[in-house]
Amino acid sequence: MVRVLVVDDTAFMRKLLKNILFSAGFDIAGEAENGKQAVELYKQLKPDIVTMDIVMPEMNGIDALKEIKKLDPNAKVIMCTAIGQEQMVKTAIKLGARGYIVKPFQAPKVIEELKKVAGV
Amino acid sequence: MPETKLIAELFEGGWKKVEVIIGEKSMVFGKEKIDFRNITDLELTTFGGKECIRLKSGKDYYLSFGDKQRQIFRFLAFNIKSDKFAVYFLSPALRGGVLVANSKWEKGYFSITESAVWFLSPEKQIRVPLNAIGSVSRDTRTVGDKPRVVLSLTHLEGKEVITSFVLCPETTLELLMDYLRRILEQQKPKEKFSEIEEQILTMVYTGVDSSSIESVLGISTEELNKIYDKFVSLGIAKVVKIRKEIELTPKGVVIVSEIAKKLGGGKGG
């Protein structure tokens, strides 16, 4: 089962993503509300995929992606963005993000993207 | 298009064969002569059990052109009454919030008719009914290695939310934004929503079912139904399924007792 770490500073958005992913048969490895927590949890949990919000307090998604990539160059990170953050998405892709989803999103497409990145 | 004669089918209570003559500025079928500039709406649809073209010129006409359908539709889409703006467009750019990998920028028109906007190019003729437009905003996209300001339009296609981008001169962009915002303003309910109502709207959009919404937000079926009723009365949602909750009658309880015996290993297990 593919294990996912969900990272978003909004509790509602985390719940929503967890619900979508759980219904589709993904295992929720853990959740983090900022980039710093995400890096810590990545070390501990070694998830298969991370869904990473970009704009977050403490440490943003781009910096968290950099840290995670330092720990594990093969980490599979999917960025979650809002419309209008294309520049940040491009930076993230250059830094090794495997894909991105734009909020608000629709469940079937999110699942499709995660399955693609997970290779299942 | 040079004057073309062909046999099509016209719906008049039922499908009837009819000769259609398509000229440069008008088309003739049966007793009707339709000037293209008087066609105010056009769509590919299914009607009377057949794939056909609906065209509105005073009233609705349904015509089926068989294997020539796409070609005729494309020709009409470029010639009906509309305001056309020369643009580049990328549609669909995102589908359900996910990038559409094989979509590319096309040179064509953004066309506005009475009841829809269109993305028009020789390859694509995409009709977006005005009531299917969800939002309009400015965005910056990289086009040909340069960051460019584009118009971002979200719209519904069936049950999927599509985001399309339009690249055009600044003055055109302003004009289109202004027009589309006015359309959206007319459609938007004046009602303000509570935080929980906004969360429910987002979850419905995402595709989360009612029992999951209740469990994620910790609310009862009654509370959720009340909020759904509000959305429906405001015209921002429609009922697609009515859930049934049941409890067992004594007869049902007896059956379950029997099932339990079987499951528990009726042979003394």
Average pLDDT on B72-91 reads 93
How many domains, in total, are found in chain B? 3
Can you give the CATH number for the domain in which B40 is found? Answer: 2.30.29.30
Q: Are residues B90 and B157 both part of a single domain?
A: yes
| Domain boundaries defined on chain A | 3-118
Residue B269 domain-assigned (yes or no): no
Q: Are residues B145 and B124 both part of a single domain?
A: yes
Strand partners, B162: B95, B155
Residue B168 domain-assigned (yes or no): yes
Its domain, for residue B244, covers: 191-264
Last residue of a domain, one of B51, B79, B107: B79
| Predicted pLDDT of residue B136 | 92
The per-residue pLDDT for range B177-214, each reduced to its tens digit, is 999 999 888 877 788 899 999 999 999 988 888 988 99
Answer yes or no: is pLDDT of B259 > 50.
Answer: yes
Q: What percent of chain A has pLDDT over 90?
A: 72
Q: Are residues B16 and B103 both part of a single domain?
A: no
Predicted ipTM of the assembly? 0.78
Answer yes or no: is pLDDT of B99 > 90.
Answer: no
Last residue of a domain, one of B79, B102, B124: B79
Q: What percent of chain B has pLDDT over 90?
A: 62
Average pLDDT on B48-70 reads 93
Q: Are residues B94 and B134 both part of a single domain?
A: yes
| Predicted pLDDT of residue B31 | 86
A83 → closest Cβ in B99, B137, B208: B137
| Predicted pLDDT of residue B158 | 81
| B90, B94, B95, B98, best to mutate vs chain A, most A CBs in 10 Å | B98
Q: Are residues B172 and B202 both part of a single domain?
A: no
The pLDDT profile of chain A, 120 residues, written as one tens digit per residue, is 899 999 999 999 999 999 999 999 999 999 999 999 999 999 999 999 999 999 999 999 999 999 999 999 999 999 998 766 777 888 898 999 998 888 888 888 899 999 999 987
CB contact, 8 Å: B139 with chain A? yes
Strand partners, A31: A6
Residue B34 domain-assigned (yes or no): yes
Decide: helix, strand or coil at residue B133.
Answer: strand
| Predicted pLDDT of residue B265 | 60
CA distances from B74 to A83, B123, B144, B183 (A): 31, 9, 28, 26
Residue B45 domain-assigned (yes or no): yes
Amino acid sitting at position B152: S
Last residue of a domain, one of B187, B204, B222: B187
Q: Are residues B134 and B45 both part of a single domain?
A: no
pTM comes to 0.69
Pick the CATH number of A3-118 from 3.30.540.10, 3.40.50.2300, 3.40.50.2000, 3.40.1190.20: 3.40.50.2300
CB contact, 8 Å: B95 with chain A? yes
Residue B179 domain-assigned (yes or no): yes
Give me the DSSP letters along B78-130: HHSS-EEEEEEEEEEEEETTEE-TT---EEEEEEE-SSEEEEE-SS-EEEEEG
| Predicted pLDDT of residue A8 | 95
CB contact, 8 Å: B167 with chain A? no
Average pLDDT on B46-69 reads 93
Q: Return the residue of B nearest to A116 by Cα.
A: B98
| Predicted pLDDT of residue B268 | 45
CB contact, 8 Å: B198 with chain A? no
Q: Return the residue of A nearest to B159 by Cα.
A: A106
